[in-house]
Amino acid sequence: MATVKISGMRCQHCVASVSKALQEIKGVSQVKVDLAKGEASFEGDVDMAAVKAAIARTGFEVVD
């Protein structure tokens, strides 16, 4: 399971937006977004650039 740190999430609407964006990436499954930790975890062999781009489109940023 891959995990990325995300900055800027503040509410459950943020969590839903990030979850939806990740679920729309081909090959991604079992998305879990944790607001308290500021993290998103998912299964799948995908390009991390695609993950970062999807999260950026929702208005948030992946923190390296």
Question: Mean pLDDT over residues 27-50, rounded?
Answer: 96
Q: Region 11-26: what's the mean pLDDT?
A: 97
Domain boundaries, the chain: 2-63
Q: What is the pTM of this model?
A: 0.92
**With pLDDT > 90 as the criterion, what percentage of the chain qualifies?**
98
Quick one: tokens of 4?
């990325």
User: Which CATH topology does 2-63 take?
Assistant: Alpha-Beta Plaits (3.30.70)
Q: Ramachandran region of residue 16, left (φ > 0), alpha (ψ -120 to 50) or beta?
A: alpha
Q: Which three-class secondary structure state does DSSP give residue 42?
A: strand
Angle, helix 12-23 to helix 48-57, in steps of 10 degrees: 140
Q: Residue 55: pLDDT band by 50, 70, 90 thresholds?
A: very high
| Amino acid sitting at position 47 | D
- Binning pLDDT at 50, 70 and 90, where does residue 21 land? very high
pLDDT of residue 54: 97
Is 43 strand, coil or helix? strand
